[in-house]
Structure 1
Amino acid sequence: MTIEPEVRTAAGVVRGRWENIVAVFRGIPYAQSPIGARRFAAPIPAQPWDGVRDALAFGPSVPQAGSAISDTGDCLTLNVWSPDLGTAGLPVMVWIHGGRYVEGTSSNPHQDGATLAAAGVVMVSMNYRVGVEGFAQITGAPNNRGLLDQVAALRWVRDNAAAFGGDPGNVTVFGQSAGTGSVAALLTMPIAAGLFRRAIAQSVPGTFFSPRLAAAISATIAAQLGVRATVDDLTRISPHALITATDTVLRRMPELVESWGPMALTPTPFSPIVDGDVLPYAPWRALATGAARDIDLLVGHTRDEYRLANPKFGTEVTDDELTATLERLAPNSDYRALHPDATPGELYELVNSDWLLRMPGLHLADAKHAGGGQVWNYELCWAFNRDQGASHSLDMLLVFGTLGRDDIRNHPSAFPNAADEAIHVANHMRTDWLNFANGNPGWAPYDPNTRTTRVYTATPTTQPYPEERSRRIWSTYQFDTLDLPG
């Protein structure tokens, strides 16, 4: 008979279950339900409970498209995977999911922490508020509520990691896409200071909003419902109604590029708000001036970041459409000259990849080095199929080990031997991530002169940064807070 694992947390005892060699605890509340008066407020710690609380199922998703809204609102929960519930003092890795700041849940099976935990870390993942609930600027509410939720979860980790076999002084936060935008923000937020030792940033978005821009977006969403973007007005609106209004505005965003600037060309109306309080500065400026100097950083991107989000993929991009895009995102650039054999469609995808996700990560590495901190750089160039290439999110699947052999074999444009290569590349990436959580990923740190980069192909190598033409184009660009045009 297997004895199910029980752990005493600061709020009470939780009971999980053994799954092979890993003890798993799901749906542990780290903050009180964001309902009623707490709906748009900063999170407060979960209330204690008596007896033993089952932690066997993931908590409900936060409000988002396609999710059922929990009657109790008990969605600010986290999950723990541990290979050793003793006094092992294992490294702790805390995952922050992506999802364009409008969706995502820790119950996503592609983000299961068992494989990482079995390799010798305590793995934690969390839900946090997204969409209007978490990232809209609302009069009478604190900004960046989704980030505040993440800080609350990290405080829970600090207070409880040791009980699950982890070392609260050796915490690595890591995320992908919007999760990495969150990681970049957490690096510079005063209230997050001291809660983690290392950070991994997979595909850093280049979008951080000024209060003016965020207010314009929130007002437009609220106007869909005939209300103002205030706590008093929005409290009367259901989460589902706000989700529908957000989706309406999202579909209209390309029409608003003159009013909102290039963020209107992205697939999301939300990003962290640089308000001078919760988030004092955009991460590039903050890191370059020494913020988070004592926090080691591993940062990188995939080669074909924009492929999955490209609305033009598979269609012809005219030269006029390319010219308009270049003028919006990279004026006075020489993409055509540096890529003389590329089609307009290929250049359209490339400039969007560079502006939105590739160059923001490279510039974050440069800023981290300028501020005196240690940073390592990577790029994923391996792909398992011809259509998607080395796509956005592929590095996440490899690190978590959740890209199945059948998923690869059944893809209509899968490369020969890709199923076997995937295991090899995934093992390399996961080992490097785990080594970083222990102090060093295993290759030389990045600096702007050598630009040493770990490049993941079928046989990973360490070499100078591969995207030299894009680096040169963007070398004088300053990523910073996005504001309303003019």
Structure 2
Amino acid sequence: MSAHYRTGAEGFARLDGAPDNRGLLDQVAALRWVHDNIATFGGDPGNVTVLGQSAGAGSIAALLVMPAAAGLFRRAILQSLPGTFFTPGLAADVAAEISAELGRAPRAEDLADVAPDDLVDAARSVTMRLPQRVDRWGAVAYTPTPFSPVVDGEVLPASPWAALADGAARDVDLLVGHTRDEFSLLGTRLGDIDDAGVDALLNGLTPTPGAQRYRSAYPSASPNELRDTAMSDWLWRMPALHLAEAAHAGGARVWLYELCWGFNSVGASHSLDTLLLFGTTEIRTGLTAAGPDAMAQARRLSGLIRAEHLSFAATGDPGWVRYTPHERDTRVYDTDSTVARYPEERSRWIWRDRRFDALDLTA
């Protein structure tokens, strides 16, 4: 089943007079309903699996460490986990700017009579101006949304990486993955960047490994390639890898995958693994124009990914070796799928001593 929950400002804006993370609380309510009622439909409340991609994976990472969600699911599949969790200060600043678009204060009572479409339009205006907020909101300015779960110390008591490493959700089995070319779609929309621009961007990431590390590890990369690689790492790939390692350190059983297959110029782009999982790769993606060979590859890979994900949901084992930080066994989905050491070794090494936490205001 799928569950609707409040998104955008309705779900995640930090407002006086309203709890933080209302979208997450909606998800907890849905999971509690499943837990209480699934037996009526022939299900097992002790064998519930949750799956989320991108923002959905961020929600699941939060649910894993939320006291209100404890015991409501047994397994979790996180696809392309974003590393963007906000401090209350950053979340409040974003909410204040969105409220100002409406001539209101960031208080629940002040916004109660605002039409939902007007609230969406105000959030959209702020989203369009994100690149102008890099001096205050940091690398969030390069992301597609100004909303993320808020580490408020109550609904969400700690960032997922720290809490999982301390043993939170040690009884939940995790299947964690990402695609190889996570930022390719956003990079195409952003256009070109020069050397000075990419250095400033990379040095401004939080946490930042620094532009020099990327230039040393990828000496022949163009500025665009450096940006897309670093942003793939910062926004999705390294948060997923570090979450897998933190969960392992905390005692959970973890499996890791990377999708390396693609059929056009953007490669193994963000969301492609989810399209393959649900068998929707041919819908408005351009796959049919790529020819019969690409379509046949997609169908074979779709069947494999779906079978292994279903096996994980049913039994807790997708069929390959568990991930450990020492061996780094990873399911690599490609034209010829294999199990190998984690493929993005250069990026893993660049980020080896950096730790993800809640993002804060930069000024």
If the TM-score is normalised by the length of the shorter chain, which range does it land in?
over 0.9
d(CA) in 1 for partners of 2:127, 2:283: 35
Task: Tell me the equivalent position of 2:227.
Answer: 348
Does the CA-based 8 Å contact 1:209-1:483 persist in structure 2? yes
Does the CA-based 8 Å contact 1:408-1:419 persist in structure 2? no
Q: Match for 1:392 among 270, 281, 295?
A: 270
**Identical columns (%):** 57
d(CA) in 2 for partners of 1:333, 1:293: 37
Deviations 1:288-327 (A, max 9, x none): 00000000111010001011122556x4321111111111
Map 1:66-105 → 2, pairs under 5 A? none
Deviation (angstroms), 1:165: 2.3
Deviations 1:231-288 (A, max 9, x none): 1100021111111111111111111111122212211010000001100001000000
d(CA) in 2 for partners of 1:428, 1:464: 20
Q: Which letter does structure 2 place at the counterpart of 1:286?
A: A
Asked which structure has the greater RCO (Cα within 8 Å, sep 6+), the reply is 2
Q: Which letter does structure 2 place at the counterpart of 1:255?
A: Q
C-alpha RMSD over aligned residues? 1.5
Does the CA-based 8 Å contact 1:384-1:415 persist in structure 2? no
Map 1:175-324 → 2, pairs under 5 A? 175-310=52-187, 315-324=191-200
Q: Match for 1:136 among 1, 13, 20?
A: 13
Task: Tell me the equivalent position of 2:213.
Answer: 334
Unpaired segments ≥5 residues, structure 2 = none
Map 1:446-457 → 2, pairs under 5 A? 446-457=323-334
Task: Tell me the equivalent position of 2:346.
Answer: 469
> What SS class does the counterpart of residue 280 from structure 1 fall into?
coil
> What SS class does the counterpart of residue 449 from structure 1 fall into?
coil
Question: CA 1:295–1:333 in 2, change beyond 3 Å: closer, same or farther?
Answer: farther
Matching of residue 460 in structure 1 with residue 341 in structure 2: no
d(CA) in 2 for partners of 1:141, 1:335: 42
Task: Tell me the equivalent position of 1:102.
Answer: none
Deviation (angstroms), 1:407: 5.1
Deviation (angstroms), 1:166: 1.5
Question: CA 1:406–1:234 in 2, change beyond 3 Å: closer, same or farther?
Answer: closer
d(CA) in 2 for partners of 1:150, 1:301: 23
Q: Which letter does structure 1 place at the counterpart of 2:167?
A: G
Task: Tell me the equivalent position of 1:417.
Answer: 293
Deviation (angstroms), 1:405: 7.9
d(CA) in 2 for partners of 1:405, 1:328: 37
Does the CA-based 8 Å contact 1:207-1:482 persist in structure 2? yes
Deviations 1:189-218 (A, max 9, x none): 000001000000000000000111100110
Does the CA-based 8 Å contact 2:255-2:321 persist in structure 1? yes
Q: Which letter does structure 2 place at the counterpart of 1:309?
A: L
Map 1:437-448 → 2, pairs under 5 A? 437=313, 438-448=315-325
Task: Tell me the equivalent position of 1:38.
Answer: none
Q: Which letter does structure 2 place at the counterpart of 1:393?
A: S
Deviations 1:399-453 (A, max 9, x none): 1112238855543xx2661100111111111111011112211111111111110
Does the CA-based 8 Å contact 1:380-1:457 persist in structure 2? yes
Map 1:116-155 → 2, pairs under 5 A? 124-155=1-32
Question: CA 1:338–1:312 in 2, change beyond 3 Å: closer, same or farther?
Answer: farther
> What SS class does the counterpart of residue 298 from structure 1 fall into?
strand
> What SS class does the counterpart of residue 47 from structure 2 fall into?
strand
Task: Tell me the equivalent position of 2:240.
Answer: 361
The ranges of structure 1 where at least 4 consecutive aligned residues each deviate by more than 4 angstroms after the TM superposition are 405-409
Task: Tell me the equivalent position of 2:361.
Answer: 484
Unpaired segments ≥5 residues, structure 1 = 1-123
Matching of residue 165 in structure 1 with residue 50 in structure 2: no
d(CA) in 2 for partners of 1:393, 1:405: 13
Task: Tell me the equivalent position of 1:402.
Answer: 280
Does the CA-based 8 Å contact 1:375-1:446 persist in structure 2? yes
d(CA) in 2 for partners of 1:255, 1:408: 33
Does the CA-based 8 Å contact 2:139-2:201 persist in structure 1? no
Matching of residue 433 in structure 1 with residue 312 in structure 2: no
Task: Tell me the equivalent position of 1:379.
Answer: 258
Q: Which letter does structure 2 place at the counterpart of 1:179?
A: G
Q: Which letter does structure 2 place at the counterpart of 1:302?
A: T
d(CA) in 2 for partners of 1:370, 1:285: 10
d(CA) in 2 for partners of 1:479, 1:312: 26
Deviation (angstroms), 1:135: 0.6
Task: Tell me the equivalent position of 1:39.
Answer: none
Q: Which structure: larger Rg? A: 1
Q: Match for 1:174 among 48, 51, 64?
A: 51
Q: Which letter does structure 2 place at the counterpart of 1:327?
A: N
Deviations 1:207-230 (A, max 9, x none): 000111100110110011111011
Question: CA 1:259–1:409 in 2, change beyond 3 Å: closer, same or farther?
Answer: closer
Larger helix fraction of residues: 2
Deviations 1:159-212 (A, max 9, x none): 221222221110010100000000100000000001000000000000000111
> What SS class does the counterpart of residue 222 from structure 1 fall into?
helix
Deviations 1:109-162 (A, max 9, x none): xxxxxxxxxxxxxxx111110111111011000110100111111111112212
d(CA) in 2 for partners of 1:370, 1:332: 29
Task: Tell me the equivalent position of 1:104.
Answer: none
d(CA) in 2 for partners of 1:151, 1:322: 40
